[in-house]
């Protein structure tokens, strides 16, 4: 009787049944642990023990791939020696790094029947052999995309080859490990996402198409508590009911087409609490319901908006009177002269009236600056009460006001308006127990009849106003023949300037800049002086003419030549300090002039040769009007000079039209606080606060600071309190000729 087959079948049947039962137990155990969300280490440990129970003599392990994909770290190996586990934890993977390192690197099964002789183990075999391990089979653990997550290994204390059933078992173990790892990581990501969702510092709510709330974070619940009371619906229309209708329509139009939307709107927190919000809405397609869901990301930006409004007010309005300031006036006139629609250019007309209170300084000197401020406030109210609504009223200087009358106005209409303005001064001002009768000097100019540029039209009105002052005050003047006489004077100075350049009638004076704490000279400003026929011509008189005529370019180069010679001389005497050199905006007016400016320094650099040009000892002082141009070519020029070691300083900061954006975007190293601010320190905390703001802003932008015009101990004490590093003014030194400057530096050097 042939009983072989029957005998084999009888022997295999119980074995197969036992294997399937244990397999079912393994899957059931691991799946239950996965569904319970147990820790990964606990699941892997259980899997190892189940495999070891199935295969007597086996000691199994799970190693996990590191985040960088280059190393293996311990996952579970409860029955392997601690010394072995510690030795292989963190081992780098590679094609010949044992069994597990090779399996992870090659992404394929690696069977090592004899560790002692296998080439993969030659560098590492002492570790397992010392622990009594002689064979190791390793199966890579892969995710659903085939990416290696780690390895499952079976160790034996004898030289051993796997059977087919062994291979099935190790492959099954790797699959179960993959299930545990992927599920654990997925739950980790889900928990992490939930934490992030609930920890977002801005409100987030997910809704369905009918505004049902699917999920919301705590910030949203707090932000919209009035509408979230039932935890079911987000009443979007009501929440956004105070927003512009066109924006709301655009929002829902985007959402209806499945497009995201972003913008700033008004949100209704409560019936009496309207907030500014930044809203981003993303459209998400729900694969289960086949409907769109919406993720509403809501950020309360009320504080930012309030800050912007505050900054806008401080930038564009006078804090004392609440009127528009000089910058706002300038911008308004610029928008008329250069409108966005170029076709409207030259269609606009306006008249500009400048008003200056006569003898206002006497009010400050006799009654005090606080009473002077009160007069200005009352003056602003009276002017506001008499002018038409379409007239822009601004305060552009201490006691100067400007009115812009839009459209074409006849001379008679303008005169009538001057009389109306003057009439508001008929009643005396009651200030400090005294009744003050004020008069004003008024200048008028018209665009485009008198000028076609903002600076020019302002200048025309200013000259007309000064003309009124020169005629005894308490009157008005149009820009007319008197201004023509001034032009004749300018022509005379123009001719003298040309001679002065040819005959080198100029000289440099130097005003030291000192450390306010030590009194030591740390720098000096180079100042241009012109002596003609034995007397000095004021720079305020000839510099504007030089700029207008273009002579300033030649004069500027002469000043720089002399200043560089001074630096060289001081270096030879061991007295070198940096010099600040003023540069006119005109010298940068065109690209040709900018190239000429840079070429000048290129030539000087070549002239100095190996000894090196002293860029680090030169500071260029520019004006705020140059920053306003913000041409890329100017920026690149100054950036290049800074790269070579030169510093850039903004002179008379705060007196022009500059803004924070200009200062932040322009290549600047230093600001010089104008003396007009310094000299008002004693006038009260408002003026101190203004300087403090400039100092704080400058430091935030990493700019050094120089205070100009320091003349009194009170001013110096305040400067020291602000930790301003350098001061310039008559309190220490007046401008002096070169020989006196050299003697002063030599004396300072001797006393060190």
pLDDT for res 3: 29
Asked if 582 and 652 touch (Cβ cutoff 8 Å), the reply is no
Nearest to 500 by CA among 542, 530, 536, 534: 530
> What is the pLDDT, as a whole number, of residue 670?
92
What is the Cα Rg of the chain in Å? 42
Tokens for 75, please give them: 């996952």
294 contact partners, CB below 8 Å, separation of at least 6: 206, 207, 208, 209, 255, 281, 282, 283, 284
- Residue 524 has phi, psi (to 5 degrees) of -150, 150
Instruction: Report H helices in 163-235.
Output: 164-199, 218-223
Q: Give the C-alpha separation, 19 to 165, whole Å.
A: 9
Domain parsing of the chain, residue ranges: 18-195, 200-300, 310-479, 496-576
DSSP 8-state code for residue 67: T
Displacement of CA 586 from its chain's centroid (Å): 30
Asked, as a colleague might, if the bond just before 448 is cis with ω within 30 of 0, I would say yes
CA 359 to chain CA centroid, nearest Å: 44
Let me know if domain 18-195 sits in CATH 3.40.50.300. no
CB count within 10 Å of CB 746 equals 13
Place of tokens 């935890």: 231
> In Å, how far are 146, 702, 722 from 690, measured between CA atoms?
66, 18, 12
Question: Under CATH, what is the fold of the domain 310-479?
Answer: Alpha-Beta Plaits (3.30.70)
* Dihedrals phi, psi of 507, to nearest 5 degrees: -145, 155
Q: Are 170 and 139 in contact (CB under 8 A)?
A: yes
Distance CA 119, CA 134 (A): 14
Q: Strand, helix or coil at 77?
A: coil
* Edge-to-edge strands, sheet with 148-156: 91-92, 71-76, 59-65, 148-156, 135-142, 110-112
Q: E strand or H helix at 291, and its extent?
A: strand 291-300
**Separation of alpha carbons 730 and 383, rounded Å:** 38
659-706: pLDDT as tens digits: 566 677 788 999 998 888 898 888 888 888 988 988 998 898 899 999
The residues near 690 (Cβ < 8 Å, ≥ 6 apart) are 654, 677
Task: Point out which residues pair with 670 in neighbouring strands.
Answer: 649, 704
| Measured CA distances, 555 to 205, 526, 607 (Å) | 67, 13, 20
The three-state secondary structure class of 155 is strand
Long-range contacts formed by 569-574: CB under 8 A, 24+ apart: 569/742, 570/742, 570/745, 571/614, 571/617, 573/742, 573/746, 574/749
Rounded alpha-carbon distances, angstroms, from residue 607 to 151, 597, 612:
72, 16, 9
200-300 shares its CATH topology with 310-479: no
Contact yes or no for 596/603 (Cβ under 8 A): no
294: left (phi over 0), alpha (psi -120 to 50) or beta: beta
pLDDT of 351 reads: 94
21-68 pLDDT tens trace: 566 566 667 767 776 778 888 888 888 898 888 887 889 999 999 888
Q: Output the furthest CA–CA distance in the chain (Å, rounded).
A: 147
In this predicted structure, what is the pLDDT of residue 537?
86
Q: What is the crossing angle of helices 40-54 and 164-199, to 10°?
A: 170
Give bridge partners of residue 524 from the DSSP assignment. 512, 579
What pLDDT, on a 0 to 100 scale, did the predictor assign at position 501?
85
Buried b (16+ CB within 10 A) or exposed e, 216-252: bbebbeebbeebbeeeeebebeebbeebeeeeeeebe
Burial-class residue 99 by CB neighbours within 10 Å (0-12, 13-18, 19+): buried
Q: Which fold is adopted by the domain 200-300? A: Beta-Lactamase (3.30.450)
Nearest CA-CA partner of 582 in 613, 542, 609, 555:
555
Q: What is the pTM of this model?
A: 0.42
Residue 186, pLDDT score: 65
| Number of residues in the chain | 752
pLDDT at 5: 33
- Given a cut of 50, the residues of the chain with pLDDT beneath it are 1-19, 346
DSSP β-ladder status, 670-673 and 647-653: parallel
Q: H or E stretch including 636?
A: helix 632-643
């Amino acid at each position: 009787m042939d009983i072989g087959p029957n005998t084999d079948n009888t022997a295999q049947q119980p074995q197969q049944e036992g294997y399937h039962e244990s397999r079912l137990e393994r899957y059931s155990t691991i799946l239950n642990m996965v569904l319970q969300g147990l820790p990964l280490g606990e699941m892997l440990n259980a899997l190892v023990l189940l495999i070891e129970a199935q295969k007597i003599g086996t000691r199994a392990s799970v190693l996990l791939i590191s985040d960088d994909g280059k190393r293996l770290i311990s996952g579970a190996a409860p029955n392997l020696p601690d010394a072995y586990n510690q030795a292989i934890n963190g081992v780098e993977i590679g094609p010949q790094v044992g069994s597990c390192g090779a399996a992870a690197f090659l992404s394929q099964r690696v069977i090592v029947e004899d560790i002692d002789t296998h080439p993969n183990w030659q560098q590492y075999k002492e570790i397992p052999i010392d622990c009594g391990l002689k064979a190791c089979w390793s199966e890579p653990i892969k995710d659903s995309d085939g990416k290696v997550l780690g390895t499952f290994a079976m160790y034996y204390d004898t030289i051993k080859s796997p059977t087919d059933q062994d291979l099935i078992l190790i492959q099954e173990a790797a699959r179960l490990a993959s299930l545990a790892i992927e599920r654990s990581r997925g739950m980790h990501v889900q928990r992490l996402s939930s934490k992030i969702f609930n920890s977002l510092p801005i409100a987030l709510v997910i809704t369905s198409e009918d505004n049902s709330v699917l999920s919301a974070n705590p910030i949203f619940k707090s932000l919209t508590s009035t509408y979230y009371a039932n935890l079911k619906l987000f009443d979007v229309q009501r929440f956004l009911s105070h927003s512009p209708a066109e924006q709301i329509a655009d929002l829902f139009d985007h959402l209806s087409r499945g497009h995201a939307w972003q913008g700033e709107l008004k949100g209704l927190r409560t019936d009496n609490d309207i907030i500014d919000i930044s809203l981003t809405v993303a459209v998400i397609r729900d694969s289960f319901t086949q409907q769109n869901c919406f993720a509403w990301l809501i950020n309360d930006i009320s504080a930012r908006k309030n800050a912007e409004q505050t900054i806008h007010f401080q930038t564009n309005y006078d804090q004392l009177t609440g009127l528009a300031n000089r910058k706002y006036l300038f911008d308004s006139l610029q928008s008329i002269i250069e409108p966005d629609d170029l076709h409207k250019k030259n269609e606009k007309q306006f008249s500009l009236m400048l008003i200056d209170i006569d003898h206002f300084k006497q009010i400050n000197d006799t009654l005090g600056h606080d009473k002077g401020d009160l007069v200005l406030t009352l003056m602003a109210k009276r002017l506001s009460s008499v002018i038409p609504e379409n007239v822009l009223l601004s305060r552009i200087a201490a006691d100067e006001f400007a009115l812009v009358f839009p459209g074409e106005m006849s001379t008679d209409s303008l005169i009538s308006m001057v009389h109306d303005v003057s009439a508001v001064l008929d009643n005396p001002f009651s200030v400090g127990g005294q009744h003050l009768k004020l008069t004003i000097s008024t200048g008028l100019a018209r665009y485009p009849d008198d000028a076609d540029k903002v600076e020019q039209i302002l200048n025309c009105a200013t000259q007309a106003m000064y003309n009124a002052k020169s005629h005894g005050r308490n009157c008005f003047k149009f820009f007319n023949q008197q201004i023509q006489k001034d032009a004749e004077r300018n022509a005379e100075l123009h001719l003298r300037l040309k001679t002065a350049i040819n005959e080198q009638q100029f000289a440099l004076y130097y005003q030291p800049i000192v450390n306010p704490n030590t009194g030591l000279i740390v720098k000096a400003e180079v100042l241009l002086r012109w002596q003609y026929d034995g007397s000095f011509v004021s720079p305020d008189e000839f510099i504007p003419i030089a700029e207008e005529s273009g002579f300033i370019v030649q004069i500027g180069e002469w000043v720089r030549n002399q200043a560089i010679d001074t630096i060289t001389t001081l270096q030879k005497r061991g007295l070198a300090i940096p010099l600040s050199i003023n540069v006119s905006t005109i010298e940068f007016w065109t690209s040709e002039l900018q190239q000429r400016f840079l070429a000048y320094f290129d030539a000087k650099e070549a002239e100095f040769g190996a000894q090196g040009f002293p860029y680090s000892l030169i500071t260029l002082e520019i004006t705020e009007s140059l920053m306003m141009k913000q041409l890329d070519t100017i920026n690149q020029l100054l950036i290049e000079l800074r790269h070579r070691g030169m510093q850039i300083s903004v002179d008379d900061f705060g007196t022009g039209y500059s803004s924070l954006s200009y200062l932040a975007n322009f290549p600047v190293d230093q600001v010089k606080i104008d003396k007009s601010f310094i000299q008002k320190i004693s006038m009260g905390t408002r003026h101190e606060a203004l300087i403090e703001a400039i100092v704080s802003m400058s430091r935030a932008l990493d700019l050094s600071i120089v205070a100009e015009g320091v003349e009194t101990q009170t001013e110096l004490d305040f400067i020291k309190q602000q930790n301003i590093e350098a001061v310039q003014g008559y309190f220490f030194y007046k401008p002096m000729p070169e020989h006196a400057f050299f003697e002063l530096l030599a004396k300072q050097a001797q006393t060190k």
